Amino acid sequence: MADTPSVLSFDVVGTLIDFETGMLNYLRHACRNELAAIDDDMFLAAYRTSRKNPDVIKYPDDLVRVYFELAPHFGLPQDSAIAEGFRASVKDWPAFADSVVALKRLKSRCKLVAMTNAQRWALDHFAATLGEPFDDTVTVDEAGCEKPDPRFFAFTLGRLSRDGHGLHDVMHVAQSQYHDIGVARQLGYTVCWIERRAGKADSGGTIDSTLTQPDYRFTSLAGLADAFEAGEIRMK
């Protein structure tokens, strides 16, 4: 077994891309009058609930549905153009401030693999925003399912096996306890939790979950890069 990870698999939305800021920036511009008095956490809590609803429409196409579901709650315009713009706003969602530089640092030491519930068209935008850091990528289109479905992880490991990689040298890095940390732990991964909402009251736009203790926990991706360079990261 490798002493240190040779592959880092990453959740993208919420871990590397700040989707909460991206969504709120778009809606506060498109619906500035209606959202002016709405607290960010109040909106994110409603969004979180809406995203729990089962839907066969793949993310982020289902943001159109989410918009129309939330519009009556917040008095937003029942406007198809705004709803479609909400979906299209993914191209403008920002990276977290540390993502691009930290990914470059980590790439000098490991193979980087994206594992995202987003569709390919959306990941293409995210990867460009992040500076095209990934050596391989798996989207919901290829996997045919969404995390936390274990089949998503199995599909990715199958791809990695082509190059001789297995569970023994992959560390999974993610923000979402619901989509990633819990299932990755159950499947035997070495797990790193990037707790982007550390110190905040709730899980924001991410679906709630019971807390799974990770092998490593940082409040930024830069923290993981620092630990890697200090020789503090080991496979568990």
Question: What are the catalytic residues?
Answer: 11
State how far the Cα of 10 lies from the Cα of 229, in Å rounded to an integer. 18
State how far the Cα of 64 lies from the Cα of 82, in Å rounded to an integer. 9
DSSP per-residue codes, 141-208? HHHSS-TTSHHHHHHHHHHHHTTT--GGGEEEEES-IIIIIHHHHHTT-EEEEE-TTTTSSS-TTSPP
List helix spans (H) across 75-139. 80-88, 99-107, 120-129
User: Which string of b and e fits 19-46 if b means at least 16 CB within 10 Å?
Assistant: bbebbbebbeebbeeebeebeeeebbbb
Which has the closest alpha carbon to 152: 120, 184, 105?
A: 184
Spatial contact of 208 and 228, defined as CB atoms under 8 Å apart: no
Spatial contact of 92 and 22, defined as CB atoms under 8 Å apart: yes
Spatial contact of 23 and 205, defined as CB atoms under 8 Å apart: yes
Task: Please give the DSSP secondary-structure letter assigned to residue 96.
Answer: P
